[in-house]
A and B are shown apart, each in its own frame.
Chain A
């Protein structure tokens, strides 16, 4: 067994991080869940059924794509994109949702609850529940419902009930609070499909295991397409950190690969303006796990901000905290502005609208690739597609224009009064400095 899979220990700890910090009502059910997961995940029949669904229903393996135009544009390392955006429902989240929904069936439970931030995990869970005939309730912060209303409609069409959460900051953290409250109440017939490598044990390891297919595939595909198992660098964005763990796990024992996780730098370094836990946070306990969190000196959880709903969360998965301590993964942060620029960059050079979450990883690649040799390989996890973010991007542009006191772009009748981002102009080829 690889070192990566030997984690966590029997008590659910990754070094000093993790554990089960939950009300007593959940303790025995978590034991039961851990036992069920350990039992079923070892059974050939379960693994075959999961693989079959991932291949024939979800569309695995997802492609590994050499982004040639982007590589030329950046003028350095070769950029490869792991195309999780092409997975059914448009993000990596479905790997875990199908895995846990299948487990729910095995456990004989009929009802599923989930939280969602950007809506991707909610859509994935609603999809898996429709597929497997489970009742599904999704909790989503009111603010996120507004930012991602298309995903709200998708979930409803898939037969899920969407419960807007109006407490606290009305975002992902509050949706998790409400999902936990539901779970404590309906524990006997309900499984909580937690959507990231967060929460009490066994969730961080279970969600990781369902997503490690991302890195396992990428490694084999890279060998076939570029002649090596080992990229020089692998980059992924980190909200709770599921797509990053999914990508990194295959490479952790391969010391040649630099691993980089990217947090949301938001509007700036002040508490409340970002979601960079490793930059401005400290050790704490939230949502069942001991990890790095953003909090004030009295232990109250801080509000966070990111242009991307999926990264807008005050805690990071406990395994990431350990990987940081070990020095195995480097963690960087990318601002809203940089992420938006990267969104435009990929849209214009490759014809791919990336999710704003994934745009953070792309922005990091944009920073480092030009400094690396042209022979180097940078693998970026394109964890989701950006269709859901079109309105967020337009709104960002509008607010940006207002901030800078620029009126709508009258010379462009299609701009709808918005001044397009300079990055969009550059890569969009609308001006004389457009990329060739």
Chain B
């Protein structure tokens, strides 16, 4: 069983959803990313989604776009990120899923990326602009290295696509809560709870839900219908506001603890 599958199994036994926070690697710079991940773990992270910054993030809203810009301006590279994971993965003690666009992986060569990512201790990869349909080279290389391949489902995915994504996903399936880009939302879409309930019954993998979840109340309502809850932009904007501050890890830990409070009840 992969470490990611192990987390979901443990959470199921504890009758709670997993908390999956996201941060952009290298925001504000790579030397601080390890401390921020550590703070997320202290605040209750079960799995960490580590974003690989890409110059043209078409699926991201302004908050993560700005984080991406900060990370690239601080000189963050894929090699740097993999070295960071190699140094800290064991100490963190929670699985790391790289959240990337495909081109930085493609540029490195899919085969050597998979080798290096696995050697660094990365547990799984989610490629936001690589649907399973284009995974002809990627999926077998990731499998060979024992890396989980997380794919997305969206409100527009029809029956055929759900089948395809289920077939190629390992670790978990990531359901995008709404048609749109990343970013905190006042309210979650009305259909979301019904949709994820339906999907969760149907999929054999655990279902994590993300995009727009930013408050403890939203975490609580999604946790009732999913196996995992992803919070991204809400944490990234905290990092953006307090990037220069020594107190950032503490603030981040506290925010994660607030968000996971409903999961511990």
Contacts and interface: CB of A to CB of B under 8 A. Distances in A.
Contact of A24 (B72, B107, B153, B180): B153
Given A25-B152, A168-B56, 4 more contacts: A20-B133, A177-B58, A293-B103, A299-B103
A284 B106 contact: yes
A298 interface: yes
A365 B129 CA distance: 40
B104 A184 contact: no
27 contacts: A21-B129, A21-B131, A23-B152, A24-B152, A24-B153, A24-B157, A25-B152, A25-B155, A25-B156, A25-B176, A27-B133, A27-B157, A28-B161, A181-B58, A181-B59, A181-B61, A181-B181, A184-B58, A184-B59, A186-B179, A188-B179, A297-B107, A298-B77, A298-B108, A299-B78, A299-B106, A299-B108
Nearest to B181: A181
A400 to B, nearest CB: 30
Given A167-B65, A284-B107, A299-B78, A25 B56 contact: no
Interface residues on B, range: 35 or more
A180 B58 contact: yes
A29 B105 CA distance: 26
* Centre residue among B104, B129, B155 by max chain A CB count within 10 A: B129
Contacts of B102: 21, 285
Contacts of B108: 298-299
Contacts of B65: 167
Give the interface SS of chain A, mostly helix, strand, loop or mixed.
Answer: mixed
A184 to B, nearest CB: 6
A401 interface: no
Give the interface SS of chain B, mostly helix, strand, loop or mixed.
Answer: loop
Contacts of B78: 298-299
A188 to B, nearest CB: 7
B55 A168 contact: yes
B151 A24 contact: yes
A23 B59 contact: yes
B158 to A, nearest CB: 5
* Centre residue among B151, B153, B180 by max chain A CB count within 10 A: B180
Contacts of B61: 181
Given A28-B156, A181-B181, A23 B58 contact: yes
Contacts of B158: 28
